């Protein structure tokens, strides 16, 4: 093996979406020399897909809003499984993170008095989402990207080099976090363009790689969402938390097939859109669960009145948290009341004038017109659930974003677990990225600065990582001379299995079957082969990403099988109720064989070990924000009297 190029940095951020860029900005402003590594071009990360807005209790539209109300909404949305300290920090700090974006040039939609406008969204008591039409994610990513450029311009002035203290390695992939002893020492990477390997030596690594949706067939996620950060953490010895919780967004496109799963923003409902079944009925009124009965309208008149006069009306049930709406749509379709292409109808055309729709929902108008020949100002959309977000993720310290048990490893954004409990509210993702991206960057920089001696990257680790990455080029079939496996075929089979067997409604036997299928795919994935050479070879990239998807999929399946209740983004047909005894139970996934021996073929043992841990009790002053009557619905007996 030829010598692999090495570079030295203080902090490496893996991922250049909202969390990664915010972490990089903070680390650099703290004085750390910071490298960002991302699979796509700079500015293309999945954050651009976020549509609705950034939740922050700025109280610009309703003065009743404050961080406590936001905290309450977040805990309710997550069915009290949230790591409460994260939910608290998030609610407290989100307004500052949004305002700061304006000082970097962001241009949000405005209120009449010139402040940042805020819109309604599912599960949020007040209009809370700062937005730019329905392209808020694009504004966020562009603002952060331009802030990075601004910092590079400062460095150019000072050092004559744009990249003296902050560099983006675009179209590069990290395949291993490297360690010395127990501590992080760097990252092993390859350049997608050339296939060239390189090592970044750095004591601090921030994972900000987003989610896992590409393991499912119907998803709103892009090709990048292969669970890389989740897998890198596992392989580095850090546990993942509550991986059974996967959010199926209630409204994805269902037709034509090639766009199935693409997101239809919740703003459509926040701004007045309604859901109807094939009988024309607004069915959501039939699906208000007990825990939310007091908060939602019982009639169409009451719900419609809320848009104009929210103080004297309860909100319409179309704005229930996403898990509730997704299950309701699923049930309607199953009962034979679906739309022609297997979804339900989402209608704004009868609710708002055409020009208002075009102004408030421009990209939805564009998307349906261009991709489905549907004019949403004149006819309803057809929508159905799509895999959108994973609540589970790297188990982190709430304040510092440090991964549990691996000094030097940090995680922020979707790849981190805990913040959203069992279900995330719309709008809480972009704010999460900013709040915890900043915290991860801050603490990674401090950690790197405080180290007296830097961990060393040893040559054997680098050689092992290089051999692992090159494996697909020498893969062989089951017998000598037989053809190797096609990575695209393996990927399609994985997506089908996860969709069918560990999807929105789960059953014990199916999940057991999924684990067997995953074991089979793991064995075959060892034989995944590629044609051609290392330059920009998508078949090779996919073969490498399969390792991550298989690891993460097993975590989801195993944890989902273990949790015998239904809560948030985990619905068990065989255990339909929420069980208060499970509220304090967190499921941790760890790599069964941390020595690096991959692809165990035993379906029972697999690669992942599960551990049940009990969460810390919620701090009393935070519990006091809720009525006792509400708490009894969520908390176990003993928690109420502690």
- Active site residue ranges: 322
Report, in Å, the least distance between residue 122 CB and another protein.
21
Could you tell me which stretch among 82-90, 102-110, 460-468, 561-569 binds another protein (CB under 8 A)?
102-110
Report, in Å, the least distance between residue 182 CB and another protein.
36
**What torsion do the CA atoms of 395, 401, 404, 408 make, to the nearest 10 degrees?**
140
Long-range contacts of 26-29 (CB under 8 A, 24+ apart): 26/437, 26/438, 26/439, 26/440, 26/441, 26/442, 26/445, 27/204, 27/206, 27/441, 27/442, 27/444, 27/445, 28/151, 28/165, 28/166, 28/441, 29/151
Residue 161 sits in the site that holds another protein (CB under 8 A):
no
User: How many residues lie near another protein (CB under 8 A)?
Assistant: 68
Report, in Å, the least distance between residue 117 CB and another protein.
8
Residue 535 sits in the site that holds another protein (CB under 8 A):
yes
Report, in Å, the least distance between residue 47 CB and another protein.
10
Could you tell me which stretch among 222-230, 234-242, 243-251, 624-632 binds another protein (CB under 8 A)?
222-230
Residue 531 sits in the site that holds another protein (CB under 8 A):
yes
Could you tell me which stretch among 27-35, 528-536, 601-609, 615-623 binds another protein (CB under 8 A)?
528-536
Residue 139 sits in the site that holds another protein (CB under 8 A):
yes
Report, in Å, the least distance between residue 60 CB and another protein.
10
With a CB cutoff of 8 Å and minimum separation 6, the contacts of 334 are none
The binder of another protein chosen from 183, 539, 598, 630 (CB under 8 A): 539
At what angle are helices 428-450 and 136-159 packed, to 10 degrees?
30
Report, in Å, the least distance between residue 417 CB and another protein.
24
Residue 193 sits in the site that holds another protein (CB under 8 A):
yes
Report, in Å, the least distance between residue 196 CB and another protein.
13
Residue 162 sits in the site that holds another protein (CB under 8 A):
yes
- One character per residue 362-401, x = contact with another protein (rule: CB under 8 A): -x--xx--xxx-----------------------------
**What torsion do the CA atoms of 326, 329, 335, 337 make, to the nearest 10 degrees?**
-170
User: Rounded to whole angstroms, how far apart are CA atoms 318 and 272?
Assistant: 9
Residue 437 sits in the site that holds another protein (CB under 8 A):
no
The gap between the terminal CA atoms of the chain, to the nearest Å, is: 60
Do residues 98 and 54 lie in contact, with contact meaning Cβ atoms separated by under 8 Å?
A: yes
The binder of another protein chosen from 1, 6, 182, 258 (CB under 8 A): 258
Retrieve residue 127's tokens.
């209009």
Report, in Å, the least distance between residue 290 CB and another protein.
37
User: Rounded to whole angstroms, how far apart are CA atoms 213 and 222?
Assistant: 8
Closest CA to 382 of 521, 256, 218, 523: 256
Let me know the angle formed at the C-alpha of 162 by 156 and 165, rounded to the nearest 5 degrees.
100
Helix (H) or strand (E) holding 554: helix 538-562
Residue 522 sits in the site that holds another protein (CB under 8 A):
no
Using the minimum distance from each CB to another protein, give the nearer residue, 60 or 83.
60
At what angle are helices 508-525 and 487-501 packed, to 10 degrees?
170
**What torsion do the CA atoms of 359, 360, 361, 366 make, to the nearest 10 degrees?**
10
How many CB atoms sit inside 10 A of residue 96's CB? Answer: 13
Residue 38 sits in the site that holds another protein (CB under 8 A):
no
Could you tell me which stretch among 118-126, 392-400, 429-437, 527-535 binds another protein (CB under 8 A)?
527-535
The binder of another protein chosen from 132, 241, 430, 497 (CB under 8 A): 132
Retrieve residue 598's tokens.
């991959």
When computed from its CA atoms, the radius of gyration of the chain, rounded to whole angstroms, is: 24
Could you tell me which stretch among 256-264, 433-441, 494-502, 546-554 binds another protein (CB under 8 A)?
256-264
Do residues 564 and 575 lie in contact, with contact meaning Cβ atoms separated by under 8 Å?
A: yes
Using the minimum distance from each CB to another protein, give the nearer residue, 155 or 201.
155
The binder of another protein chosen from 138, 401, 502, 578 (CB under 8 A): 138
By the criterion CB under 8 A, which residues form the site for another protein?
40-44, 46, 48-49, 58, 95-96, 99-100, 102-105, 107, 109-110, 113-115, 132, 135, 138-139, 142, 146-147, 149-150, 152-153, 156, 162, 193, 222-224, 255-259, 262-263, 363, 366-367, 370-372, 486-489, 492, 530-533, 535-540
């Amino acid at each position: 093996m030829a010598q692999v190029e090495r570079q030295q940095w203080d902090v490496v951020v893996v991922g250049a979406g909202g969390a990664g860029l915010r972490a990089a900005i903070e680390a650099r402003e703290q004085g750390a020399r910071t490298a960002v590594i991302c699979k796509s071009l700079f500015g293309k990360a999945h954050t651009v897909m976020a549509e609705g807005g950034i939740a922050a209790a700025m109280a610009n539209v309703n003065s009743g809003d404050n961080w406590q109300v936001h905290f309450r909404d977040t805990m309710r949305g997550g069915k009290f499984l949230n790591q409460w300290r994260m939910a608290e920090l998030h609610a407290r700090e989100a307004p500052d993170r949004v305002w700061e974006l304006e000082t970097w040039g962001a241009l949000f939609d405005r209120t009449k008095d010139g402040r940042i406008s805020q819109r309604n969204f599912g599960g949020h008591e007040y209009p809370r989402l700062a937005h730019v039409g329905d392209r808020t994610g694009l504004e966020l990513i562009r603002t952060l990207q331009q802030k990075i450029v601004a910092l590079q311009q400062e460095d150019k002035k000072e050092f004559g080099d744009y990249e003296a203290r902050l560099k983006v390695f675009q179209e590069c992939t990290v395949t291993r976090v490297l360690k010395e002893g127990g501590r992080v020492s760097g990252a092993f990477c390859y350049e997608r363009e050339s296939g060239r390997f390189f090592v970044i030596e750095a004591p601090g690594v921030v994972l900000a790689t987003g989610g896992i949706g590409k393991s499912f067939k119907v998803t709103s996620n892009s090709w990048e969402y292969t669970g890389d950060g989740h897998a890198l953490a596992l392989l580095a010895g850090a546990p993942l938390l509550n991986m059974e919780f996967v959010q199926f967004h209630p409204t994805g496109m269902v037709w034509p097939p090639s766009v199935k799963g693409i997101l239809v923003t919740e703003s459509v409902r926040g701004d007045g859109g309604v859901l109807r079944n094939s009988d024309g009925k607004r069915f959501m009124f039939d699906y208000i669960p007990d825990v939310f009965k007091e908060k939602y309208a019982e009639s169409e008149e009451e719900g419609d009145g809320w848009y104009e006069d929210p103080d004297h009306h309860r909100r319409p049930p179309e704005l229930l948290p996403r898990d509730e709406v997704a299950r309701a749509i699923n049930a309607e379709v199953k009962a034979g009341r679906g739309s022609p292409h297997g979804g339900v109808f989402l209608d704004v055309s009868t609710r708002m004038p055409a020009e208002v729709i075009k102004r408030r929902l421009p990209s939805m108008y564009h998307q349906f017109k261009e991709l489905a020949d549907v004019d949403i100002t004149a006819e309803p959309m057809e929508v159905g659930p799509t895999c959108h977000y994973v609540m589970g993720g790297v188990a982190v310290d709430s304040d510092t974003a440090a991964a549990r048990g691996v000094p030097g490893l940090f995680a922020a954004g979707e790849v981190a677990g805990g913040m959203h409990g069992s279900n995330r509210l719309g709008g809480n993702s972009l704010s999460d990225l900013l709040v915890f991206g900043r915290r991860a960057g801050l603490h990674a920089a401090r950690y790197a600065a405080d180290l007296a001696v830097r961990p060393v990257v040893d040559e054997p680790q680098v050689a092992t990582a290089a051999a692992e990455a090159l494996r697909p080029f020498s893969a062989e079939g089951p017998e000598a001379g037989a053809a190797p496996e096609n990575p695209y075929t393996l990927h399609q089979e994985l997506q089908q299995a996860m969709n069918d067997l560990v999807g929105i409604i789960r059953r014990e036997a199916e999940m057991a079957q999924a684990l067997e299928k995953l074991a089979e795919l793991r064995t075959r994935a060892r034989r995944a082969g590629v044609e051609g050479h290392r330059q920009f070879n998508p078949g090779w990239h996919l073969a490498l990403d399969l390792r991550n998807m298989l690891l993460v999929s097993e975590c989801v399946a195993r944890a989902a099988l273990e949790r015998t209740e239904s809560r948030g983004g985990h619905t068990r047909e065989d255990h339909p109720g929420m069980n208060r005894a499970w509220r304090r139970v967190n499921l941790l996934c760890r790599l069964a064989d941390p020595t690096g021996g991959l692809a165990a073929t035993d379906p029972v043992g697999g690669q992942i070990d599960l551990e049940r841990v009990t969460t810390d009790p919620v701090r009393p002053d935070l519990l006091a924000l809720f009525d006792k009557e509400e708490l009894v619905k969520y908390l176990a007996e003993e928690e109420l009297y502690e």
